[in-house]
Amino acid sequence: MFETMLRSLRSARMTTFAYFALNGVVLGLWVVHIPAIEHRAGISHATLGWLLLLLGGGAFAGMQVAGPLTDRFGARRVVPLSGALLSASLILPSLATNAWTLAAALLVFGIGNGCLDVSMNAHAVQVEAAYQRPVMSAFHALFSVGGVLAALLGARTLSWGWSPATTLTAVSVLGLAATLVSASSLLPPQQPATTPEHSARPSVRQPVPRRIWALAALALMLMLSEGVAADWSALAMRDVLGTSAATAAFAYGAFATAMTAGRFLTDRVAARFGPVSIVRYGSVIAAAAMTLIVVSPTVPGAVLGWALFGIGLSGSVPQLFSAAGHTDPAGAATNMSRVVGLGYVGMLAGPAVIGALTHLMPLNHTFLLPVVFCLTAAIAAPILKPAQPRPGDRATAAVQAVSQPVG
């Protein structure tokens, strides 16, 4: 019996890895093919910028829909459907021939991304509860690995002369097949206890939204800071330090590599020191790193700063998602939709906020905003401290997570 439960749990963990990697691959392939899709649709850069807001808006809407649905029907149902929707919608942008069809395609694509983002994170929380130790950051590391694989695959297929439609259709079919094959390996929903204590829980839940919104605010600040690295690191290297475009690319490369490596290591560190320490000290490292970037007059110093910035931020956001999911198992996905959604807003708003600030100060000085945000996260880190569970709660949750029939 125990061996069967353990195999089911391991299978569920590997399947969750696969969904995070799938999400990274799909989004990465979209990014790689943006220039070709823009050309086919016959639109300007400015029009594309506005259309990308539809992608973000669709993702936010999908998150708010998928959260309650996942809590009601379970991640085992919602994750495969979301993965199928995202995989199928990957084809749509490559078929667009004008701004209107691309707008519709990006809206649907964004909804699929938002649905999968929330539902797979909710399932990751369920797996983490069953393991009774941190495993969330490794899932996010696989998302990053998926992005790297997408960049390599996209570069190869473009060099072969494949059209975006050919590549995206092939990956879409593979994604659909993967979601169908792996659906049965996901964990069934936990069965809530039906004790008098639980029946009286609505009054106990009153303070929960405050904690969730606090976590969401931290997610907004930290993901905005992460977005600064994605959108402005190379430009800052080129314009502030006067490097070539090729050298400037090392800035984001250092950040992305360090963040991926950090996420693979974070779970072990979190298991020993706890999520509060991850966010507190990680945010302090990120703030110090960004300060180094602002003041560094040399390329090696700036590249080192971006690498340290990636290490500092690597474990913080997964800890926020995990804390939101564990706050109330019965509403885990709904709570996560708020935290993930507001964090996503921060990442989308980052380019606009930094761009507006450049009218008032040099680009590298605008990076003091992420410094302030990271220091705020470090001060507010104790919000992640988990509530003290009653005796037997964690063991019960773990058994419930893996003891339901998988058929």
Residue 137's pLDDT is what? 92
Say how far residue 379 (Cα) sits from the centre of its chain. Answer: 23
Annotated domain spans of the chain: 2-189, 208-384
Cβ atoms of 212 and 338 closer than 8 Å: yes
Residue 1's pLDDT is what? 62
Residue type, 67: G
Residue 209's pLDDT is what? 64
Cβ atoms of 325 and 335 closer than 8 Å: yes
Query: Per residue of the chain (407 residues), what is the pLDDT tens digit?
Result: 667 778 888 899 999 999 999 999 998 888 888 888 888 999 887 788 788 888 888 999 999 999 999 999 999 999 999 999 999 999 999 999 999 999 999 999 999 999 999 999 999 999 998 888 899 999 999 998 988 888 888 888 888 989 999 999 999 999 999 998 888 899 888 655 443 444 444 444 444 568 899 999 999 999 999 888 877 887 788 888 888 877 777 888 888 889 999 999 999 999 999 999 999 999 999 999 999 999 988 989 999 999 999 999 999 999 999 999 888 888 888 998 999 999 888 888 877 788 888 888 888 888 899 999 999 999 999 998 875 544 444 444 444 444 443 33
Residue 399's pLDDT is what? 40
Sequence-ordered list of residues with C-beta below 8 angstroms from that of 2, at least 6 positions apart, any chain: none
Residue 36's pLDDT is what? 87
Q: So what's the architecture of 208-384 in CATH?
A: Up-down Bundle (1.20)
Q: How far apart are CA 13 and CA 126, in angstroms?
A: 10
CATH level 3 topology of 2-189: Growth Hormone; Chain: A; (1.20.1250)
The pTM of the full predicted model, rounded to 2 decimals, is 0.83
Of 343, 313, 337, 315, residue with least CA distance to 324: 337
Long-range contacts of 103-109 (CB under 8 A, 24+ apart): 103/51, 103/54, 106/51, 106/52, 106/54, 106/55, 106/58, 107/54, 107/55, 107/57, 107/58, 108/58, 109/30, 109/55, 109/58
Q: What are phi and psi of 67, to 5 degrees?
A: -60, -60
